[in-house]
């Protein structure tokens, strides 16, 4: 399996990976693009660009995103918009990233959640604890501790 973090990526400037989504915050009314906040979602990075005359650019590595929430108010649902909240475990800038009034929110949320987990596994980064509580030995069947999709008791 190829490592996405090879020396070639650093030298070629492709460390962020491929650009997957570009989204702009929109006005709630009629979903008109409001050009003050842009989001660029790469395979390895989430970039937030704010401002009109003076631009402020903030990056967050995907592997740092620990959880993602998608919310839609009644007005947002009428205009096909939503809000994504990304909870960041260890970012010096902010502990959450809010992507408000964007289109394709559910699709983008699913991508961010899956890609952040994929990046954590590739980097072998652990920033959350997954504690499974089992109150009896019968519940220990069908557990997949190595996350390969096959229950551990069936691999032997």
- pLDDT tens for each residue of 9-64: 443 456 788 888 888 888 877 777 777 899 999 999 999 999 888 999 998 888 88
Is residue 84 within 8 Å of residue 112, measured between CB atoms? yes
Report residue 107's pLDDT band, with 50, 70 and 90 as the boundaries.
very high
**Would the pTM of this model clear 0.75, i.e. be above it?**
no
Is residue 4 within 8 Å of residue 122, measured between CB atoms? yes
- The full DSSP string for 15-26 is TT--EEEEEEEE
Report residue 142's pLDDT band, with 50, 70 and 90 as the boundaries.
low
Separation between Cα atoms, residue 51 and residue 34, nearest integer Å: 11
Give the CATH fold of the 14-123 domain.
PH-domain like (2.30.29)
């Amino acid at each position: 399996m190829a490592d996405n973090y090879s020396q070639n990526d650093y030298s070629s400037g492709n460390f962020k990976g491929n650009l997957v989504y570009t989204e702009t915050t929109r006005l709630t009314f009629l979903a008109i693009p409001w050009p003050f906040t842009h989001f660029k979602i790469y395979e390895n990075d989430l970039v937030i660009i704010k401002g009109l005359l003076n631009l402020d650019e903030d990056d967050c590595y995907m592997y740092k995103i620990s959880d993602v929430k998608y919310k839609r108010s009644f007005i947002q649902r009428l205009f096909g918009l939503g809000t994504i909240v990304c909870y960041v475990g260890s970012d010096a800038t902010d502990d959450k990233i809010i992507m408000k009034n964007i289109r394709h929110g559910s699709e983008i949320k699913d991508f961010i959640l899956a890609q952040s987990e994929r990046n954590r596994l590739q980097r072998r980064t652990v920033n959350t604890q997954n504690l499974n509580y089992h109150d009896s030995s019968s519940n220990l069947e069908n557990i997949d501790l190595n996350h390969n999709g096959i229950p551990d008791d069936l691999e032997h």
